[in-house]
Structure 1
Amino acid sequence: MKNINLLDKNSNSAIILAGIIALIIGVGVARFVFTSLLPPMLENYLTVSFAGILASVNYMGYLAGSIFAVFIKDVYTKVKFFRLGMVISIATTFVLATTHNEILWLISRVIAGFGAAMALVVGSAIVMSKLKIDNKTKAMGIHFSGIGFSILVSDLIVRGVFSFDGTWEDAWLVLTIFAAVASIYPIYVLSFGKKVNTNVVKHHFDIKLFTPFVILLILAYFCEGVGMVVQSTFIPDIINSLEGLEGYGNLTWTIVGLAGIPSCIIWMNLAHKFGSVNIIIISMSLQVVGILISVLTNNMYLNLLSGVLYGGTFIGLVALFMSLGGKLAGSNPVILMGALTTAYGVGQVLAPLYSVALIEKFGNYDYALFLTAFIVSSGVVLLLISKILKIVKD
């Protein structure tokens, strides 16, 4: 059996591990841990309204970073921006630990969103470039399990801080220290040695890519962007607001992370067997069920199941949509991937804003969840229409 050297930056195992750690820092610490800390921050600092605004501006930063990342071609430039993303993720977390200034929080969340994009989009591109393996699809499935790990690890750190009677400010500080130390490994591994000559192929805008099916796919991905962000922002507080489930919110969020770890690999394997569109329809439908559970019942087990359904779908759906988009784009991926990313990002930005408005008007999460379920269901309907009209390219 070949020895695994995790200090060899050209080892496939080291590359995948570094990619997962980068996601824990850039996506977990810089984004998802905000959800873990939302209930205690709502108790003595944040309002639901301001929390929604912070979530929205964070996704604005992520959207801008994702679109920017699409146009970075040179691998050495990618490395520079990836490292910048690591630094941003650490610095913006430190801001939340050391100040209560709302303007600084807004600025830090926007910048943190950009850093998360550098970690996820650019970091994943570097991982794919460095891997020396025939079947990169399976390897990238393992890499994207890091999104599930990012939720789980960051949530466990928060739980550890509170187990020692720490405050949410203490949690942000511990997360800053953790990210600073952990970032050393991915910064070391996800880099390249001597300069190599790479031919950058420039692609021009091709309107022919935007077939009726691609347009429906883009609209469906917008709907999924909406479905992803409402629960990722509010699910602990949603669960805690249900009668008899006070205190179960963070447990549900932990379950989201656990369910998310294997989801990408499972859904991608199913898509290979049964077709991407069919599996996307099934996954989005399950997500709708998960969204509606908290509106229809306060049963503890069913609401824990809602966490499983959310964590088990949203990460896999990103991989499914982007993989299908890449397949449809062929040798000209930039415009189509950018369009998908933009649609998803717009959904992420809008969802917290309408959620806040509905929560403030009705005093609960029910109408925000009903509207979110309707929008995600609309995405399912769009894809069903593509199958009825037989314009699917799977």
Structure 2
Amino acid sequence: MTESGVAAGFLTLVVVMGIGRFLYTPLLPLMLTEYGLRTEQAGFLASLNYVGYLAGAFAAGPLCHRFREFRVLVAGLLISCLTTAATGLSTDFVWVTAARLLAGIASALAFVAVSGLVLLIVARDGRENLTGLYYGGVGGGIVLTGLAALPTARIWGAGGTWILFGAVGATLSGVVLLLLQRHDEPRHSAATPRATLPWHPRFARLVIAYGLEGFGYIITGTFMVAAANATVGPTGAHLAWVVAGCAALPSAFLWSTAARRWGRLKPLVVAFFLQGAGIILPAALNGAAALFAGALLFGATFMGIVTLALSEGASYAPTARARIVGLMTGIYGIGQIVGPALAGYFSARTGTYHIAIFIASATVAAAGGLLIPDAFAHEQARERR
């Protein structure tokens, strides 16, 4: 039973994150030509997607409390599949802008709702060790889109690829709903008091660090393929994205395993610093080797950071999981709004992504530095045990 809930969560992340969000990354170079986009417009579209993600994240907690997680998840999956297909129906910039905005809202609604359900299922069944497998769905989605997007686009173009993946997402969504029908979900009523958020200084630092991660990682997550084109060409650039996805697939489980031995915060700090190195490596050292090493480090850490940070946040108030996930996802979303817009601005002015990449790397490293005192505080370690 636990496994079916985790599998449903995995497939949800394939649909709303791997496809709904990250299909944009391998298709971006072709969209710049086929849709007639300028670089700053591409950055604006990515940022607008995260504006929607921010709005959806902050709305998801209250919506889950009022309508229950399963209904919010259904709405998120439906909107995500429709907007994925809609992105391919027209090259009009206003149309694409609206589709990407709604896609961001949908991905956040589904992510928060399914996270609340999966975290409840694994905690109820005493199977928290499976949480990392659930978050591996993002890596699975990246591998899927990374391997299939370019061959599909060669035949159907960028627009046809969006439509096809919308249909793929709809099929997977049907499987998700079938799997989750076997599980009870949290029951809420109007009279049920909303759990209080844990405004402890350590929790506040964790939330801030997570917001810095949202800013730093998304610059690479959005522009990796476009930036790598100049170094290794289209095929090599897509391969680098697949490498990142392959590294992400088992990473959440591996970081969760590390957390059971050393606690969550120490591995989280290590992951921040490794990701910072992975972001800056291709800019600091030109060449395919640096690019693929950076992609490997990036993929191996970004979902590990999500897993560790959200699990740590939820541990402060287990009865408020959906609210905490919604809050942290929203703060993460603020960083994601600023990151692509900044990268697009600097790349348009300088003709290179290097300045934005250096800023992104420094921001991620700063997030790790912010958590060092908490990670190595003996009293904090004792409290968590």
TM-score, normalised to structure 2, is 0.90
- For 2:126, give the aligned amino acid: N
How far apart, in 2, do the equivalents of 1:308 and 1:222 lie?
22
CA contact under 8 A between 1:245 and 1:300: conserved in structure 2?
no
User: Which structure has greater helix proportion?
Assistant: 2
Partner of residue 48 from structure 2, selected from 45, 57, 69: 57
CA contact under 8 A between 1:20 and 1:143: conserved in structure 2?
yes
Higher CA-based Rg: 1
The aligned runs of 1:300-315 (5 Å cut-off) are: 300-315=288-303
1:3: which partner in 2? none
1:219 aligns with 2:208: yes
The aligned runs of 1:1-394 (5 Å cut-off) are: 11-44=1-34, 45-73=36-64, 77-129=68-120, 134-162=125-153, 165-191=155-181, 201-203=192-194, 205=196, 209-242=198-231, 244-245=232-233, 247-332=235-320, 336-386=324-374, 392=380
Cα displacement (A) at 1:139 = 2.2
* Matched position secondary structure for 2:301: helix
CA deviation digits over 1:21-62, x for unaligned, max 9? 222111122111110101111233222111111111111111
- For 1:85, give the aligned amino acid: G
**Would the alpha carbon gap of residues 202 and 34 (structure 1) be closer, same or farther in structure 2, given more than 3 Å must change?**
same
CA RMSD after TM alignment: 2.6
Cα displacement (A) at 1:80 = 1.9
Relative to structure 2, which stretch is displaced further, 329-338 or 275-284?
Answer: 329-338
Could you list the runs of 5+ residues in structure 2 that have no partner in the other structure? none
Cα displacement (A) at 1:341 = 2.6
**Would the alpha carbon gap of residues 337 and 27 (structure 1) be closer, same or farther in structure 2, given more than 3 Å must change?**
closer
CA deviation digits over 1:320-367, x for unaligned, max 9? 111111122354556654443332111111111111121122110010
How far apart, in 2, do the equivalents of 1:348 and 1:173 lie?
25
* Matched position secondary structure for 1:202: coil
CA deviation digits over 1:136-172, x for unaligned, max 9? 3122221111111111112223134146x33112211
Relative to structure 2, which stretch is displaced further, 153-162 or 312-321?
Answer: 153-162
**Would the alpha carbon gap of residues 204 and 170 (structure 1) be closer, same or farther in structure 2, given more than 3 Å must change?**
closer
**Would the alpha carbon gap of residues 77 and 352 (structure 1) be closer, same or farther in structure 2, given more than 3 Å must change?**
same
CA deviation digits over 1:108-154, x for unaligned, max 9? 11110111122222123233445697333122221111111111112
**Would the alpha carbon gap of residues 226 and 132 (structure 1) be closer, same or farther in structure 2, given more than 3 Å must change?**
closer
Cα displacement (A) at 1:377 = 1.6
**Would the alpha carbon gap of residues 210 and 354 (structure 1) be closer, same or farther in structure 2, given more than 3 Å must change?**
same
How far apart, in 1, do the equivalents of 2:150 and 2:202 lie?
45
1:6: which partner in 2? none
Cα displacement (A) at 1:190 = 2.1
**Would the alpha carbon gap of residues 387 and 283 (structure 1) be closer, same or farther in structure 2, given more than 3 Å must change?**
closer
CA contact under 8 A between 2:116 and 2:322: conserved in structure 1?
no
Q: Percent identity?
A: 26
How far apart, in 2, do the equivalents of 1:387 and 1:127 lie?
26
CA contact under 8 A between 2:281 and 2:290: conserved in structure 1?
yes
How far apart, in 1, do the equivalents of 2:184 and 2:251 lie?
37
How far apart, in 1, do the equivalents of 2:167 and 2:375 lie?
50
How far apart, in 2, do the equivalents of 1:182 and 1:322 lie?
25
1:5: which partner in 2? none
CA deviation digits over 1:183-239, x for unaligned, max 9? 221122223689996677424656xx3333223222211111112211110001111
How far apart, in 1, do the equivalents of 2:193 and 2:304 lie?
30
Q: Which of the pair has the greater relative contact order for Cα pairs under 8 Å at 6+ separation?
A: 2
